[in-house]
Chain A
Amino acid sequence: MLTVQQIINGLLLGGVLALVALGFSLVWGILNIINIAHGSFVMIGAFVTYWLFDLFGVDPFLSIPISMMVLFVLGYAIQRGIINWVVRAPALITLLLTFGLDLLLSSLALLWWKADVRSVNPSYGGSRIQFGTLVVPYVQLSTLILALAITALLWLFLARTRLGQAIRATAYDHTGAKVVGISLGSIYAVTFGIGAAIAGAAGSLVAVVRPISPTMGASYTVLAFAICILGGLGNVAGALIGGLIFGLVDVFGAAWFGAGYADAVVFAILLVILLLRPQGILGREYSGGTAEG
């Protein structure tokens, strides 16, 4: 039964990882921005949940909409006020810009909140469902379900709403989008805001399952980057599949080779996948136009 338990653990972990990668994938796929500050957005989301819980006793799951709103506003403002100024420059320039942003956000957080490692421990934190020898902690199960729900909502939004269609149209052909009256500046800002909001939700979920600190962001950025490549860029399902596989491999790698080698195993498998399928598991050749046109 050990391996079934491991599969469960891997999927539970993978759901949160998928959500971490989802916003990153959206921004990369549609705006062609590799957002180095993504991990800092996750960190801010985690701290919104932490402070609401610590100061006002707000349930961590109830704080998700709040951290999403906070990060949407922050992301919208950043894109509108800063990134839009250089959005048509080559991708490496916007990478530089978000690097500066990341430094700014994470060092401000370090100044205000200090380097302490904190965690959110609701009263129901330890409760779990037991099937024979299988154990499923409620908190982890809820994070997986919420991660799946948010992924599904994003997919619905992109596929069915007018705004979502405008966003995809912009990614496909930004000149064409301009011709039919779409305002690129605000579409970019909304897209970046949504990416940040999803990062915020991911941060809230991370806060309930893992310890958090102001410097946690960088490792989540690397993780999101890897998952996007693994799943394939530019589609919602790719981030989900990539995240789940990443979680499974992480758990199995730790079990077979020892916890110290978990990342090495994950990245070794990533290397092999890349060499066999350079476009990612679900990826197609990326055909859409990019912000740089």
Chain B
Amino acid sequence: MMAANPLKQLRLGERFASMPRWARWTVMLVGLAFAFYLPRLNILPFAYIRTDLGDRGADWASVLFLVAIYMIVAVGLNVVIGMAGLLDLGYVGFYALGAYSVALFGSPSSPVTEWMVRKFGFEEGWAVPFVACIPIAIALTMAAGVVLGAPTLRLRGDYLAIVTMGFGEIIRITARNADPITNGAAGVLGVPGPPGPGTGTNEYFNQSEPERWYWLALCVLIVLIFLARRLENSRVGRAWLAIREDEDAAAVMGVPAFKFKLWAFAIGAALGAIAGLLFGAKQAYVEPTGFALNLSFLFVAMVVIGGSGNLFGVLLGAFLITYLPERFRDLPILSEYIDPVAWRPFAFGVALVLVMILRPQGLVPNRRRAMELEVRKAEAEEAAVDV
């Protein structure tokens, strides 16, 4: 059953990797340039991918910003689920912690900064500068990841998923109920944005220029992808893979399984924090309902649909799941009869079921993850015969 064309046997990724160096760089640079150009895209056949063509469409650059944010989330969650093989259903907790860190420390009107002003006698309206909020957010969230991971990472599989799900909810409910710290359901206003050329009322990163936010998020995303790739092809990536394949054998070969799993959690948490931080800064307003549990499921769906373990796959998953609902917010003729937004969960459910039936390994699968799935399927079938 050999295919006539040997190239046919290579997956797209392998074919890309076997291209000469200059060709790979050209493809990547052209792709990047296109990504940066996207918000201004207005040439007609291509402009159909914009989301703001109809009357009810969402602002195109804002959608792109959200796509970039969710891509950061997907890269982070891919470290946890795809590389380390830990099913984390509470990822929104880290995302919320990142957003709340920048809101509570960076906003002059948050209870935390007000307390600090009273306590240390800073002048009125003082707040932690945005740049200093970044390490605070990352450190706090990584600490939360370690605190969550240390007792729970001894659990395997489904049990871990349930505990992490609880964690996500705990963060949201705490944010809603701890009025003296988080302002509760009212949320925090005045979240600072990154510093830029403009000042005062005319800041570079402001509400009316979403494309600047998109470019910022895209730059952050590129750096994070670069770092994630470093992890994948290193002793850390190998250790995660070994733990996924046979944890006990890995331990006997000197792999400190618990330590590496904890690192996966901490790194995932840090990436979630960065995404949440950007999100909170762009909104300039953080409130607890934005971090509901279903967002966690959405994040996991991005990774699983895209192809867990494959960086390109999870990016595609994040793009599709964020972009498609916005693109079809307004359907040309159907909109007169039905409300596409109301049908969104239905479409999402159908898509999820279809992917699980037709392509359980994800749209762009990781070779090894796909193989693991095959083996497990065979084992399940054998087990069924035994019963």
- Mutual binders A and B: no
By a beta-carbon cutoff of 8 Å, the part of chain B in contact with chain A is: none
